[in-house]
Amino acid sequence: MIVILKPDPNQDQLKSLLSWLQEKGITIHTSVGEARTILGLVGDTSQLDADLIAALDIVEDVKRIHEPYKNANRMFHPEDTVVKVGNTRIGGGSLTLMAGPCSVESEEQVVTIAKAVKASGATMLRGGAFKPRTSPYAFQGLGAIGLEYLKTAREETGLPIITEMMDISQLPLFKDVDVIQIGARNMQNFDLLKAVGRQEKPVLLKRGMSATYEEWLMSAEYIMAGGNHNVILCERGIRTFETYTRNTLDLSAVPVLRKLTHLPIIIDPSHAGGKSWLVDSLSMGAVAAGCDGLEIEVHNDPAKALCDGPQCLRPDAFHRLAGKLLTLHETVKNLEA
Amino acid sequence: MIVILKPDPNQDQLKSLLSWLQEKGITIHTSVGEARTILGLVGDTSQLDADLIAALDIVEDVKRIHEPYKNANRMFHPEDTVVKVGNTRIGGGSLTLMAGPCSVESEEQVVTIAKAVKASGATMLRGGAFKPRTSPYAFQGLGAIGLEYLKTAREETGLPIITEMMDISQLPLFKDVDVIQIGARNMQNFDLLKAVGRQEKPVLLKRGMSATYEEWLMSAEYIMAGGNHNVILCERGIRTFETYTRNTLDLSAVPVLRKLTHLPIIIDPSHAGGKSWLVDSLSMGAVAAGCDGLEIEVHNDPAKALCDGPQCLRPDAFHRLAGKLLTLHETVKNLEA
Amino acid sequence: MIVILKPDPNQDQLKSLLSWLQEKGITIHTSVGEARTILGLVGDTSQLDADLIAALDIVEDVKRIHEPYKNANRMFHPEDTVVKVGNTRIGGGSLTLMAGPCSVESEEQVVTIAKAVKASGATMLRGGAFKPRTSPYAFQGLGAIGLEYLKTAREETGLPIITEMMDISQLPLFKDVDVIQIGARNMQNFDLLKAVGRQEKPVLLKRGMSATYEEWLMSAEYIMAGGNHNVILCERGIRTFETYTRNTLDLSAVPVLRKLTHLPIIIDPSHAGGKSWLVDSLSMGAVAAGCDGLEIEVHNDPAKALCDGPQCLRPDAFHRLAGKLLTLHETVKNLEA
Amino acid sequence: MIVILKPDPNQDQLKSLLSWLQEKGITIHTSVGEARTILGLVGDTSQLDADLIAALDIVEDVKRIHEPYKNANRMFHPEDTVVKVGNTRIGGGSLTLMAGPCSVESEEQVVTIAKAVKASGATMLRGGAFKPRTSPYAFQGLGAIGLEYLKTAREETGLPIITEMMDISQLPLFKDVDVIQIGARNMQNFDLLKAVGRQEKPVLLKRGMSATYEEWLMSAEYIMAGGNHNVILCERGIRTFETYTRNTLDLSAVPVLRKLTHLPIIIDPSHAGGKSWLVDSLSMGAVAAGCDGLEIEVHNDPAKALCDGPQCLRPDAFHRLAGKLLTLHETVKNLEA
């Protein structure tokens, strides 16, 4: 961390700053220039709050040299993290297809879809039992019984299951789930992050609607700081001025995260666009850009249309898409080799 | 709600839609135009998911006539809600000044500040005991002991206290707090909203960093649907492309919310701007625009500068500001009378 | 267009609205429902200002059924537009690679780069002669002499040239340019749009930094309304809260524009990300998502590094990338066939 | 400017950087720390492109100490600029009320409104003759004849006139206008900025819809670099994710610009909110926050409602508002004294 002092800083305040830093075990290299004095801070600067230092009267600006996250930082962990879930490996060159309904509606529904998406090449079943809904009057999900249906679908297909946890109190119910999903709205629910960091199950952490890459990685760091290093990152679109699409898929997240972190990167094209006819193009783009997998909503019952979200694919559409994605992934791997 | 059908809709799907709506107790008025058929839905449409209907193959667009929130809606509750906290009344023409430190650091600190801000005209003490911090390595607040210090400050000054709750599990600790604050990052932590909706204490609900007015009011609706109608809304800046300020204070929230809802509207100029030198101008603007109160960070110890957040005022600066705000509020009230 | 009236509208104002609409040749279908009256407007509604009508006291809301653009609308022009520039065809299934330096610096520079990118597979040479720079003190481009160097490079390689026009007064200088580029900052410089609409050369219209799809297509409509239908759209990143990347590439623009318009869609990964190491991944993603081409910055002189923008590729890096993109494009075409 | 080098920089590239800087007259202070070498650049660094330097292989980061604008910078011009227009003085503690119709429609209309707003306390007449419209099919303004009507209104009332110029070619027509307005869409039309910088008339420069404070001040710098220092800044709302209001008024612009620049700051509450019922509250807030004036749309003919934009006030509403604003301004001045 580099601290640029204002010209002629108050000496008492400067002493106070220096001794405070030294108490924290930071070594200070002072460079006295003609116009400015610059402090180079060496040591564990991830514990320092750059904003607080920048707010001091004597400080012109603060410049971090290292990112404030450690466990998630590729600098300290150069190899890709590969998260293992049953026979599925997420990251490290594979392409993981997570597919399934937005909401679990019935045992029959989820088993049918699970079989269909498995046959198409999906390696994980997604489905919501606890649903974060904007309105208190909207269907809030089947809850615990929905988790049971997912487990039945896992038994019938062998697909590991991933589903969203919304509150710490649900943790015991998730004991038999394969991957815990933390939704965009809870990306900075820090108590929830700490709770899933204290257990061992892999966690898929969605990006908050207006979270920067750094904030997102700091939330991953919350989980990892608790001891759980099985974190998967999932970009699902950010909020921008454009409202034609529900959110704006930030494809740059793929190369940026690849550089900043060793954690696997999943793209959710269904929520990003919010329209089923966008899923095809966005999925193709995400795979070619180098993501580790996709999380795609698939629904089976075109007749029961009202439970079919705007962003859901039908199984036949998913089947065609999955075929294209697997071929595309092979082509891209060969091109990059 | 108005549903605009596509030309020549599939008749089976139309029948399925109509019967589904009728099951839900909705009356349907069909207007057959030359080019389009339009359905006017009458009844409790707040239970209908407009996005789902819009996603149907036969539907061109859906237009809500009424907002999807009921309890928070001024249409159904024309008079201003006034939230009573001890002797303080929030809303209804008064100006509430909530002031205090960002973090509770010690009993002495919080008592000293409480006395100072009370002498300046503050009517409520704010202070953080559980702190939502971006980094897991940053100070997370004093927790339960911080709540005790706040209560001591209340005893010494008579000021009611407001402090942030981050997780349902903290609810028992907040039994003796006067107002529960829900932070921006938890605005869509729906389980937390339900929990504070099932108890009686007033709740100050901060706007999420990228939440629309409607989403914010739907979160208020979550609390109110549980039976707790003592909800206070607090605008604290939204996330935009401009990074010179930490967030962008959305002043329009004052007149917009005044129209849409009967709930009191507080402005937090400290977090909105993120710089102490912005607080004065933004506070003046907010009061003249018609808000019901302000939540301002005040810190007392200029020597111990490193605990002094960039957006904190010193007590003397707050004293000058509070004096100006109270005079301004009188002037504005007389002008609007 | 559908106009939803408020309950019990003032009858004089309603008459005034109806007669004003009839004067404009609009036919009105009135549907009187129980709670609301709805007007269905049939005719050339693209001339009506929906915001103005929505502002009337008697109007609850206005809902457009058709987009306000006509010439650019795929509904009225179902086949893809293919823009022909010399031997190059933009759109209609081909992949156009436009490459070259950000700024034209010298004849030697631009000729060298032109030869290199042609050898790698580029089909058009891009290069800036008139440069929109944020600072008045920064290099503003070589101007007319830069255009001459571009023409020399065209003579030596046969590559058609595309370069930015910033003001109407430059039009005569562009007589011998192949494609006129309108930059993001001038996307709503309506006089400039009209001027390039009155001439015949193809125009590449970049998306404004915070322009919606509709505003962007309305700007294309300005050009087309003047008679010039050779418009190419270029997505170059939008402004969001994320500042790690210079802009946020909006990949959804590819499928969305494909649905809304028949015009070709180019992606500029260099400006979108603002970092050369992002170009590879974003380009791959854009091609797989189905764009018609890419505009990529390439610079040749690693020694003269200070003229080398942060987002420029070296010719060898472009060579590798172009090879991958052409293979990828073939694969994607086969998959979609 | 401070340049932070990467560890172990390539020595040839470092030499090349140092000699390039020295050629530009920059003095370099090198501070060799344990981990990093830091270069302090002293001299006219406003000519250096920080992004280009930051892009060099050997550079970790670049930190500007001074803002890149000079003429607009309060650091080099501590006193407030007061722009004189006839008897009106903009800035320096006065409150300027610019009012008038969005579009000039007829001589009678603009004269009537001019008289009304003058009687209410307005000191300048605004009105659009050349209108930037999103659609090519919408009314584009009366053009030159509209300017004549404005001049007539000036003769009848003595109010100076401000109106928008959209293209350099219109400059001769604006010879007799008092203040030239540059609209948000042209904030980075650099040729237009240069043109109005080469003449003497005051220029009101609106903020671009997604322009940062720095970009906005750099556009002011374009005008001032040409010799015209009579620049007035006008905040008119920025584009954010919130679409309930047309734009989001950024009130922080008032205190931020007050610190960064000496130029007067006007607020346009009509365009910011896009709804007439927001104008009152936003105007009050802007004056209390310390702006130098307001630009407000006023229309006179409630019968001819269709030409009456959604954000326009009627003269009687403006009359009441102006009275409140002038009283408020006095109160605020006394409080700040």
Segment A303-316, tens digit of pLDDT: 454 444 567 788 99
Q: What is the pLDDT of residue D129?
A: 95
* pLDDT of D307 strictly over 50: no
Across chain C, what does the average pLDDT equal? Answer: 92
What would the two tokens of residue C92 be? Answer: 């209609």
Residues of C in contact with A210 (CB under 8 A): 241
Shortest Cα–Cα distance, C335 to chain A (Å) = 6
* Chain C contact probe: residue of D10, D12, D16, D49 with most C CBs at under 10 A: D49
Q: Comparing A39-43, A267-271, D279-283, which segment has the lowest mean pLDDT?
A: A39-43
**How sure is the predictor about C34, in pLDDT bands with cuts at 50, 70 and 90?**
low
B126 CA: distance to closest CA in chain D (Å): 24
What's the rounded mean pLDDT across residues D291-318?
Answer: 77
Nearest alpha-carbon partner for A86 in A165, A161, A174, A175: A161
Q: Which of A10, B278, C31 minimizes the C-alpha distance to D250?
A: B278
Nearest CB to A137 within list B46, B57, B137: B46
- State chain D's mean pLDDT as an integer: 92
pLDDT value at A273 more than 80: yes
Question: Which of D15, D190, D198, D206 to mutate against chain C (most C CBs within 10 Å)?
Answer: D190
DSSP 8-class letter at A311: T
Q: For chain A, give the percent of residues with pLDDT over 90.
A: 69
Nearest to A132 among B51, B185, B190 (CB): B190
Q: Has residue A60 got a pLDDT over 60?
A: yes
In this prediction, residues C223-227 reach a mean pLDDT of: 97
Tokens at D221, concatenated: 């710098």
- The residue of chain B nearest to residue D286, with distances taken between CA atoms, is B285
pLDDT tops 90 at residue B1: no
Q: What is the pLDDT of residue B306?
A: 47
Question: What's the mean pLDDT in B179-189?
Answer: 98
Q: State both tokens at A229.
A: 């290093």
Name the band, by pLDDT with cuts 50, 70 and 90, for residue D337: confident
- Across the interface, whether the CB atoms of C238 and A248 are under 8 A apart is answered yes
By a Cβ cutoff of 8 Å, what residues of chain C touch chain A? Answer: 210, 212-214, 238, 240-245, 248-252, 254-256, 258-259, 272-273, 277-278, 280-282, 284-290, 324, 327-328, 331-332, 335-336
Question: In this structure, what are the phi and psi dihedrals at residue B3, rounded to the nearest 5 degrees?
Answer: -110, 120
Phi, then psi, of D226 in degrees rounded to 5: -80, -10
Are A239 and D241 an interchain contact pair (Cβ–Cβ within 8 Å)? yes
Task: State mean pLDDT over B40-56.
Answer: 80
Q: Is C190:D166 a contact under the CB 8 Å cutoff?
A: yes
Q: What is the DSSP letter of B108?
A: H
Task: Indicate yes or no: CB of D305 within 8 angstroms of CB of C137.
Answer: no
pLDDT of residue D212: 98
Q: What pLDDT score does C54 carry?
A: 79
pLDDT attached to residue B310:
63
Report d(CA C251, CA A250) in Å as an integer.
Answer: 8
Structure tokens at C40: 């269905």
pLDDT above 90 (res D67): no
> Which tens digits make up the pLDDT trace of D191-233?
999 999 999 999 999 999 999 999 999 999 999 999 999 999 9
Answer whether A281 sits within 8 Å of C238, measured CB to CB.
no
Between CA B13 and CA B235 the distance in angstroms is: 43
SS (HEC) of B56-92:
CCCEEEEECCCCCCCCCEHHHCCCCCCEEECCEEECC
With a cut of 60, say whether residue C242 has pLDDT above it: yes
Of the pLDDT bands very low, low, confident and very high (cuts 50, 70, 90), residue D308 is very low
The pLDDT of C1-22, averaged and rounded, is 86
A4·D4 Cβ contact <8 A: no
Query: Quick one: average pLDDT of B162-185?
Result: 97
- Residue A42 has φ and ψ, to the nearest 5°, of -120, 140
Closest CA to A27 of A43, A14, A16, A15: A43
User: Cβ contacts of residue A254 below 8 Å, gap of 6+?
Assistant: A235, A265, A267, A286, A289, A290, A291, C281, C285
Q: How confident is the model at residue A31 (pLDDT cuts 50, 70, 90)?
A: confident
> For a pLDDT cut of 70, what percent of chain D falls above it?
96
Is there a contact between C40 and B36 if contact means CB atoms under 8 Å apart?
Answer: yes
Between helix D276-289 and helix D315-336 the angle, nearest 10°, is 20
Residue D304 has a pLDDT of 56
Tens of pLDDT, residues B227-247: 999 999 999 999 999 999 999
pLDDT at D50 > cutoff 90? no
Mean pLDDT to the nearest integer, D233-245: 96
Task: Name the residue in chain D with its Cα closest to that of C212.
Answer: D239
- CB C52 to CB D306 under 8 A? yes
Number of C/D CB contacts below 8 angstroms equals 132
Average model confidence (pLDDT) across chain A: 92
Distances (CA, A) of D245 to B255, C203, D4: 11, 33, 43
pTM of the model: 0.94
**Minimal C-alpha gap between C251 and chain A (Å):** 7
């596509």: which residue's tokens? B6
* pLDDT score at C306: 46
C212-237 average pLDDT score = 97
Instruction: Determine the pLDDT at residue B305.
Output: 40
Q: Is residue C303 over pLDDT 70?
A: no
Which among D31, D60, D210 has CB closest to A33?
D31
Q: How far is B103 from chain D (nearest CA, A)?
A: 25
Least confident of B103-112, C229-238, D23-32, D247-256: D23-32
Q: How far apart are CA B332 and CA B335, in angstroms?
A: 5
Q: Please report, rounded to a whole number, the percentage of residues in chain B having pLDDT higher than 70.
A: 96
Test D221 with C17 for CB contact under 8 angstroms.
no
Per the prediction, chain B carries an average pLDDT of: 92
C19-37 residues labelled b (16+ CB within 10 A) or e (exposed): ebbeeeebeebebebeebb
Q: What's the whole-number mean pLDDT along residues D79-95?
A: 95
Beta-carbon separation of C38 and B60 below 8 A:
no
- Asked if A4's CB is within 8 angstroms of D36's CB, the reply is no
The full DSSP string for A115-159 is: HHHHHHT--EEE-BSS---SSTTS----THHHHHHHHHHHHHH--
Tell me the average pLDDT across C112-138.
95
Q: In what helix (H) or strand (E) does residue C16 lie, and over which residues does it extend?
A: helix C11-23
> Under an 8 A CB cutoff, do C40 and B38 touch?
yes
pLDDT at C304: 56
B150-159, B312-321, C319-328: which range is least confident on average? B312-321
**Closest by Cα among C262, C270, C245 to C98:** C270
How confident is the model over C320-337, as pLDDT tens digits? Answer: 999 999 999 999 999 988
Candidates B52, B239, B276; nearest CB to A210: B239
Give the one of B168, B188, B209 whose C-beta lies nearest to A132's C-beta: B188
The confidence band for A320, taking pLDDT boundaries of 50, 70 and 90, is very high
Do D61 and D83 touch, CB atoms closer than 8 A? no
pLDDT reported for residue C52: 76
pLDDT of residue D301: 64
Chain B contact residues (CB < 8 Å to D)? 210, 212-214, 238, 240-245, 248-252, 254-256, 258-259, 272-273, 277-278, 280-282, 284-290, 324, 327-328, 331-332, 335-336
Average pLDDT estimate for B183-195 = 98
Among A60-74, B199-213, C78-92, C107-121, name the one with the lowest average pLDDT. A60-74
Mean pLDDT, range A185-204, rounded to an integer? 98
D63 interaction partners in chain A (CB closer than 8 Å): 2, 4, 61, 63
Q: List residues in chain A touching C: CB distance below 8 A.
A: 210, 212-214, 238, 240-245, 248-252, 254-256, 258-259, 272-273, 277-278, 280-282, 284-290, 324, 327-328, 331-332, 335-336
- pLDDT band for position A301 (50/70/90)? low
Subunits next to D (3 or more Cβ pairs <8 Å) are A, B, C
Rounded-to-integer distance, Cα C165 and Cα C129, Å: 9
Query: What is the amino acid identity at position D141?
Result: G
DSSP A233-272: EEE--B--S--SSSSB-BTTHHHHHHHHB-S-EEE-HHHH
The whole-angstrom separation of Cα A247 and Cα D63 is 33
Per DSSP, chain A holds a count of helices (H) and strands (E) of 10, 14
| Residue in C182, C188, C242 to test binding to D, most D beta-carbons within 10 Å | C188
**Shortest alpha-carbon distance between residue C291 and chain D (Å):** 26
Residue pair D118/D159 in contact by the 8 Å Cβ criterion: yes
- As a whole number of angstroms, the distance between CA D298 and CA D319 comes to 10
Chain B and chain D share a number of CB contacts under 8 A equal to 130
- Examine the pLDDT at D78 and tell me if it is beyond 70: yes
* Inter-chain residue contact B281 with D290, CB threshold 8 Å: yes
Chain C residues near residue D101 by CB distance under 8 angstroms: none
What pLDDT score was predicted for residue D305?
40
Q: Which of A49-63, A81-95, A280-294, C182-196 has the lowest mean pLDDT?
A: A49-63
CA dihedral over D309, D313, D316, D318, signed as positive or negative: negative
Q: If pLDDT is split at 50, 70 and 90, which confidence band does C308 have? A: very low
* Digit-coded pLDDT (tens) for D204-214: 999 999 999 99
Whether residues A303 and B169 touch (CB distance < 8 A) is answered with no
Chain D residues with CB under 8 Å of C303 CB are: 16
Residue D120 has pLDDT above 70, yes or no: yes
Q: Do A136 and B53 touch (CB under 8 A)?
A: no
Contact A255, C281 (CB under 8 A): yes
DSSP string of D126-163? E-BSS---SSTTS----THHHHHHHHHHHHHH---EEE
